[in-house]
Amino acid sequence: MSTRNSFIILATIFITSVIAMFYVYLMFPDLDDSEKEHLRIPWDIEDAKLLGLVLDRYKDRYYFEVMFGIILVYIFLQTFAIPGSLFLSILSGFLFNFPAALILVCFCSALGATLCYLLSQLAGRRLVRRFLPERAAQWSQQIDKHRGNLLSYMLFLRMTPFLPNWFINLVAPVIGVPLFPFAFGTFLGVAPPSVIAIQAGKTLHTMTSSRDAFSWTSVCILGVFAVLSLVPVLLKGKLKSKLE
């Protein structure tokens, strides 16, 4: 498939998704004019605050409509590697109880990342090889080293900031990462950082920056989880060496 055809396919899918998002917007409960201006994708913490106040007013009467709207937008952002999902995670913590928010964020992250993976597999190979050849080649070498422990490796990557999530989602199918460890590793791996974002959402009205969601304590906790994700790899290596 040529680069031009890849762009056409991706643009068509993107435009179709935007139309679907607009349809959901039209089906949303009637809002005051002052509220409509805040019904948009949050790009910073102030946007998230204002959107949270609007949705909180309608959540009791339109609980599932509000939840479905957040799910759709979250998956849309993840699918097309658009920034903003962190603020939706914080917003989910503000609007919903902890178990519901955690399941929502993990599900949307995994499904959106999987759709991004499939889009890249369908039409992104030439784009990745054209615009990200060196970084893709470097990561491919790392994948080859962890080929026997891909699930643990994916868990580690999702818990740490070493590689951007958009890069992982786009490049994974191109360098031969199988779908199962990719999707399942994403679902489990995003849980620890999501817990921190969701907890921060409980105090959304006092936050001044997305940095407020991550304290040194939370960073240390993420570090512990990241190390724990590598324990199966270490145990497997020791067992293998003993058997040999």
The per-residue pLDDT string of the chain (244 residues; one tens digit each, 9 = 90 and over) reads 666 777 788 888 899 989 988 887 887 777 787 788 888 888 888 899 999 998 998 888 889 889 999 999 999 999 999 988 999 999 999 999 999 999 999 999 999 999 999 999 888 888 888 888 999 999 999 999 888 889 999 999 998 888 999 999 999 999 999 999 999 999 999 999 999 899 888 888 777 665 656 566 666 766 776 676 666 666 555 545 554 5
* pTM to 2 decimal places: 0.85
CA angle 191, 100, 206 (to 5 degrees): 80
Tell me the longest C-alpha to C-alpha distance in the chain: 71
The residues, any chain, with a CB within 8 Å of residue 9's CB and separated by 6 or more, are: 1, 122, 123
Helices and strands, counts by H and E, the chain: 14, 0
Provide the 3-class DSSP secondary structure of residue 244.
Answer: coil
- For residue 116, is it left (φ>0), alpha (ψ between -120 and 50) or beta? alpha
Contact in structure between 17 and 24 (CB atoms under 8 Å):
no
Q: Is the CA virtual torsion 110, 116, 119, 120 positive or negative?
A: negative
The residues, any chain, with a CB within 8 Å of residue 69's CB and separated by 6 or more, are: 24, 28
Query: What is the Cα–Cα distance from 53 to 49, expressed in whole angstroms?
Result: 6
* Domain extent for 192: 3-243
- Rg (the chain; Cα; Å): 19
Contact in structure between 39 and 53 (CB atoms under 8 Å):
no
Residue type, 131: F
Count of domains forming the chain: 1
Count of beta carbons in the 10 Å neighbourhood of residue 133: 10
Count of beta carbons in the 10 Å neighbourhood of residue 244: 5
Provide the 3-class DSSP secondary structure of residue 111.
Answer: helix
Contact in structure between 207 and 49 (CB atoms under 8 Å):
yes
